[in-house]
Structure 1
Amino acid sequence: MNESMNHSPLITSVDVVVTNPMQAPLGNFVLVRIATDQDGLYGWGDATCSGSELAVAAMIEEHLSPALLGKPAGKIEHIWHTLYHLPYYRSGSVHLSAISGIDMALWDIKGKLANLPVCELLGGPIRDRMLTYRSVSGRTFDDVLERVRELQQVGHRVVKVQAAVPELESGYAVPSTSSQQTATDKAFSLGVPPTETWEPELYTRMLPRLFDFLRNELGDSVELIHDVHERITPSQALRLANDLSPYNLFYLEDLLRPEHLDTFRLVRSQSSIPLAMGEVFCNPWEGQELWLDHLIDYVRHDLAHVGGITAGRKIAATCESRGILTAWHGPGNISPLTHMANAHLSLSVPNFGIQEFDANW
């Protein structure tokens, strides 16, 4: 046996890098580098938590890293539970994002030590490719249609769509006017969130019109997804799910806020539309009644927020026996490290559904 495999290398340092060179939108990453006592052996992880970057860095540097120094880097499960139970008040987004970055870095070390891809250490790849999707948005329905067709031309079979609400000057991440776009760009240049208005009733009336337009133009040549971003009331959610059912969505995402999870039971009992949820959950057990009780079809956790690869394995295993598929969160505001963690986990779990890969590096 290789001598380096006879003992686990010991952790000697934990460093955190907060990138954010120019307050670029969707580009402020929190990266974790863990070094060991074996020369040149280190690992990288992603602890990005948009809006709380410095808090996550402080959590790692001041609270978690002292518990890591001198510990065997290979004891990933033991370390995960140690860090999870370390603070008395635990399980928030800052705490679990910090654990996520550390966990990914430890899996990176384990893969390098074994000279194997991490997916091999997770049981080996079940597939050699993954179904992925990207997102498009537009001020008008025609803008959305054009961008869907552009993705189709390069081989995408599933696309998430979002459009501005015509009656509003601004909407969630989709300015309706050039003046609002200018204001949004200025806010991002200053490193602050843009000011947006929102009217859920207008949005829920517009959305079926968007999907009716797209289906008339595209037929069934592409699968479509929409993300509600938890911005509507329970009664609006039930109506929207029924209104969108005729358009055969791949799934409807984040239909309700975490505070309204009980309403998923009502939606499930009255609508056949596939549902996905999870990116706002902050530990592997939050919201678990959704998959334990078959109230959703896809889990959407973010591996940079929920506890890393170790947490993702727990979630996937719990969902497998219930027929719930994975669809890990993969937007542009997580680093390439989490996208790679998503890929390794997606390749190795039997209940993989689809992988978001919405980045433009």
Structure 2
Amino acid sequence: MKITEARVILSSPGRNFATLKITTDTGLTGLGDATLNGREKAVVAYLEEHVIPWLLGQDAERIEHVWQSLYKGAYWRRGPVTMTAIAAVDMALWDIKAKQAGLPLYQLLGGASRTGVTVYGHANGKSIDDCLSEVENYVAMGYQAVRLQCAIPGLDKAYGVAKGKLYYEPAERGLPPMETWSTPEYLDFIPELFAQARKQFGPHLKLLHDVHHRLTPQEAAALGKSLEPFRLGWLEDPTPADNPESFRLIRQHTTTPIATGEVLNHLQDFRVLVSEQLIDYVRTSVQRCGGLTHMRQIALFADAFQVRTGCHGATDLSPVTMGVALHFGLWVPNFGLQEYMRHNEETDAMFPHAYTFADGMLHPGEAPGHGVELDESMASEYPYQAASLPVAQLRDGTAWSW
């Protein structure tokens, strides 16, 4: 089964998506997600200039061979642009293989390990009361796990606080917006948020929080220690993951579970973090780490050290990635949680999908393939618009991790 066409479709139904569509000589097609938030066109250029010319004429059934050829053949390995491009190809080829078999993708992986994929929602607000009101809404919808983000008194903006309800999109049109950060105010405030949340919602609701790489290891250790009485499900990205050894200090000082890795894209990035059991959840995704082929390797490596998956699932990943992630999550033996940040109505309409939500879980559905398609005529109505993620600085103007 030869690949006869591969092309990238750019669209922006409220935010930018890059979708790779591969067509074979049998007429079967597959979709992959090539979106890299704020850097979409870098991946598009990589695909169009370097990947697609090589893909044409390749055997679509040789998924492992294609993956290894794109990874090893580039010489300049890894990195977000390369691994996102490879992921798009990999997702599309798995979609084709499952359609060829007439089976939902999870059946090709070995079948279901659970009845559904437990997901968490994003509760946020401009005050603690607002945030807890949103937690209440998620609980009413059946969620068993909720991430809490709240505006910090004294700071004009805060990561994770949406302009509206349910949908959070940090990228803005044009050049990167600037946000101010102050660690002391943050460290003083966050324990109170979780004290009130635990008091209101009791001991069993899984509560999560994302630091978003902003603390030093010592500061992260102090935060984790201060949050121990409230038994978080996890503390996400407490410090930049560039230096995995820095997580040793955090682990030495707190028993709060740690999740990290949404910006990491290769098994080697997780080797120290996982083998030394410095984290509890791997946060990369099929789209960030080169696709399903490599995500399986990372997950099974993590399983050997009792580390579970907690895959990234924000709106900067299209429904194509969510579909593949749910097939992966239904199968993977060491599943933990799946992030589920809901897309807007336009995106859901543009990407018809088989996955459904009920009782705090998503199920990928039984459609052959990964179960997500693209309405190309609708996509043409939402042209690409340049957008950027924010950047952060301290009060004295020092550049900081956003």
Q: 1:123 to 1:209 in 2, by over 3 A?
A: same
Question: If the length of structure 2 is used for normalisation, what is the TM-score?
Answer: 0.81
Determine the C-alpha separation between the residues in 1 that align with 2:175 and 2:162. Answer: 16
The 8 Å contact of residues 5 and 24 in structure 2, kept in 1 or not, is answered as yes
Q: 1:231 to 1:120 in 2, by over 3 A?
A: same
* Structure 1 residue 332, shift from structure 2 partner: 1.4
2:250 aligned residue (264, 267, 290): 267
Cα distance per residue 1:142-194 (max 9 Å; x no partner): 00110000111111110000001011122224389x9xxxxx99993x44433
The 8 Å contact of residues 48 and 305 in structure 1, kept in 2 or not, is answered as no
Do residues 136 (structure 1) and 128 (structure 2) align?
A: no
Determine the C-alpha separation between the residues in 1 that align with 2:336 and 2:162. Answer: 31
Instruction: Name the structure 2 match of 1:14.
Output: 6
Question: If the length of structure 1 is used for normalisation, what is the TM-score?
Answer: 0.90
Determine the C-alpha separation between the residues in 2 that align with 1:212 and 1:263. Answer: 27
Do residues 124 (structure 1) and 111 (structure 2) align?
A: yes
Instruction: Name the structure 2 match of 1:232.
Output: 215
Determine the C-alpha separation between the residues in 1 that align with 2:22 and 2:315. Answer: 24
* Structure 1 residue 314, shift from structure 2 partner: 0.6
RCO higher in structure (CA 8 A, sep ≥6): 2
**Consecutive unaligned residues in structure 1, runs of 5 or more:** 1-8, 179-183
Cα distance per residue 1:263-313 (max 9 Å; x no partner): 211211221111111100022321321111111111110221211111111
Q: CA RMSD in A?
A: 2.0
Aligned letter for 1:78?
H
Determine the C-alpha separation between the residues in 1 that align with 2:162 and 2:187. Answer: 17
Q: 1:321 to 1:272 in 2, by over 3 A?
A: same
2:48 aligned residue (57, 61, 79): 61
Aligned letter for 2:78?
S
Instruction: Name the structure 2 match of 1:96.
Output: 83
Q: 1:57 to 1:249 in 2, by over 3 A?
A: same
The 8 Å contact of residues 274 and 302 in structure 2, kept in 1 or not, is answered as yes
Determine the C-alpha separation between the residues in 2 that align with 1:265 and 1:185. Answer: 32
Equivalent residues in 2 for 1:1-361, closer than 5 Å: 9-20=1-12, 24=14, 27-38=15-26, 40-174=27-161, 188=172, 190-361=173-344
Greater fraction of residues in strand: 2
Instruction: Name the structure 2 match of 1:181.
Output: none
The 8 Å contact of residues 242 and 271 in structure 1, kept in 2 or not, is answered as yes
Secondary structure of the corresponding residue to residue 334 of structure 1: coil
Cα distance per residue 1:98-147 (max 9 Å; x no partner): 00100000000001100011111111111221211111111100001100
Secondary structure of the corresponding residue to residue 230 of structure 1: coil
Determine the C-alpha separation between the residues in 1 that align with 2:169 and 2:50. Answer: 36
Cα distance per residue 1:237-276 (max 9 Å; x no partner): 1111111111100111111102332121121122111111
Cα distance per residue 1:194-252 (max 9 Å; x no partner): 32111122112211111112112222242100011101112211111111111100111
Q: 1:313 to 1:175 in 2, by over 3 A?
A: closer
The 8 Å contact of residues 274 and 297 in structure 1, kept in 2 or not, is answered as yes
The 8 Å contact of residues 10 and 72 in structure 1, kept in 2 or not, is answered as yes
Greater fraction of residues in helix: 1
Q: 1:287 to 1:321 in 2, by over 3 A?
A: closer
Determine the C-alpha separation between the residues in 1 that align with 2:333 and 2:73. Answer: 32
Determine the C-alpha separation between the residues in 2 that align with 1:186 and 1:93. Answer: 19
Determine the C-alpha separation between the residues in 2 that align with 1:338 and 1:165. Answer: 32
Determine the C-alpha separation between the residues in 2 that align with 1:166 and 1:318. Answer: 41
Secondary structure of the corresponding residue to residue 168 of structure 1: coil
**Consecutive unaligned residues in structure 2, runs of 5 or more:** 345-402
Determine the C-alpha separation between the residues in 2 that align with 1:302 and 1:206. Answer: 30
